[in-house]
Amino acid sequence: MLSFYKYTKVEHIKTTRDYLYDTFLNLGVLGRIYIASEGINAQISIPKKNYAKFQKVMLNKDPFKNIDFNITEDGAQTQSFVKLIVRIKDKIVADGIEDSTFNVKNTGDYINAKEINKAIEDDNTVVVDVRNAYESEIGRFKNAHTMKVDTFRQQIKKLCSDLSPYKNKKVVLYCTGGIRCEKASAWLRHNGFLNVKHIKQGIIGYIREVKEKGLPNKFIGKNFVFDDRRAESVTDDILSNCHICKNTKCDDYTDCKNQFCDTMFICCSSCAIRKKGFCSYRCLFFSKLPKNIKKMLVKNTYKKKDALAYKRKALTQ
Ligand SMILES: [Zn+2]
Ligand SMILES: [Zn+2]
């Protein structure tokens, strides 16, 4: 399994899309790939025997030359994706930015694992988690500044004002694999922040580096990931509580059994039994209604529902 992204100007989007789809289909690639005029973002699995060919396709072909691959699970038997999707999007990371002078490639410098460990302990540096609240809730860097947002779009809106006290200090950004902090760092620089750094390949890159170099690990809890595994344990610390009873330490996400609700929430084992896998008594009650009443209610309530604070969302949505 691997992921990769690159901010780069993509011309002829439709041709590129079709080329990638056909080539990947032939190589047995599964997963999802988004392309936009600002670049490419992919999370895929690929049969090991085709990996060399795949690399050749990606590394030699403009505009995706020299992409860094982030291998998350080498040789694993688990199949996380069931089909291949190559989709054209407005942006590879939806940001809500409509400023045509913004240059996403004007990013800050990278910071390595040793430097970030130092930054975490430094009073003159703020380490900022640019992920959504449901991600930072279960795992984050020690002392990190986290934000109560559900999407990157909301984050971008709040970022500059949230960090204004740190405008003259060092700002270090991180996300899961680097794609969001790279854009956020360019956005802060665009807005006058001078000393902005970000971690190359995000938490995934950091964890790999501390392991390789034998450095102390300062990321605690779980790293939220956007495939069926949902989270990877980094340390045994449990940072969050069950969302139902509020007082049992728990960091396991579950989806509400009511398909019309589909809220993603943290649920301890005793609450899972008590609520039978539903996020609320409302959903439990709903599940027992006759089909035609359900249909009517879905039209009137669930569609309008915006209480999706913990709804699982793909990175770019
Ligand atoms: Zn509970
Ligand atoms: Zn529910």
Q: How far is the CA of 258 from the centre of ligand 1 (A)?
A: 18
Residue 73: pLDDT band (50, 70, 90) is: low
Q: Around ion ligand 1, which residues have CB less than 5 A away?
A: 242, 244-245, 248, 268, 271
Tokens 């943290």 sit on residue: 266
d(CA 306, CA 311): 10
Residue 94 lies in a domain: no
Shared-domain flag, residues 116 and 203: yes
Average pLDDT over residues 294-308: 62
Greater confidence (281 vs 115) lies with 115
DSSP, collapsed to helix, strand or coil, labels residue 6 as strand
Together in a domain, 144 and 50 = no
Work out how many domains the chain is built from and give that number: 3
CA of 281 to the centre of ligand 1 (A): 14
Q: Which ligand is nearest to the CA of 252?
A: 1
Active site residues: 175
Domain check: are 125 and 32 in the same one?
A: no
What CATH number corresponds to the domain at position 49? 3.30.70.100
Same domain? For 209 and 120 the reply is yes
Asked whether residue 39 is assigned to any structural domain, the reply reads yes
| Domain span holding position 201 | 109-221
Minimal CA–CA distance to 84: which of 137, 165, 6, 28? Answer: 28
Residue 59 belongs to some domain of the structure: yes
State whether 127 and 216 are in the same domain: yes
Residues 68 and 9 grouped into a single domain? yes
With respect to residue 103, please indicate whether it lies within any of the assigned structural domains: no
- Give long-range contacts, CB 8 A cutoff, 24+ apart: 115-118: 115/197, 116/141, 116/172, 116/174, 116/199, 116/206, 116/218, 117/215, 117/216, 117/218
CA 31 to chain centre: 15
Query: Would residue 93 count as lying in a domain?
Result: no
- Residues 199-235 have pLDDT tens digits of 988 999 999 999 999 999 999 999 998 777 789 999 9
Residues 115 and 209 in one domain: yes
Residue 182 and residue 68: Cα distance in Å, rounded? Answer: 14
Domain shared by 247 and 207, yes or no = no
Residue 311 in this model has a pLDDT that exceeds 60: no
Structure tokens that stand for 295 in this block = 């249909």
Domain co-membership, 114 together with 208: yes
Indicate whether 168 and 265 sit together in one domain. no
Q: How far away, in angstroms, is 258 Cα from ligand 2 center? A: 5
Rounded CA-CA distance 244/217 in Å is 31
Residues 6+ apart with CB under 8 A from 100: none
Which ligand is nearest to the Cα of residue 260, counting in written order? 2
Q: Is residue 234 part of a domain?
A: no
CATH number at residue 198: 3.40.250.10
pLDDT tier, 83 (very low <50, low <70, confident <90, very high otherwise): very high
Q: Maximum distance among all alpha carbons in the chain?
A: 60
250 CA from centroid of ligand 2 (Å) = 18
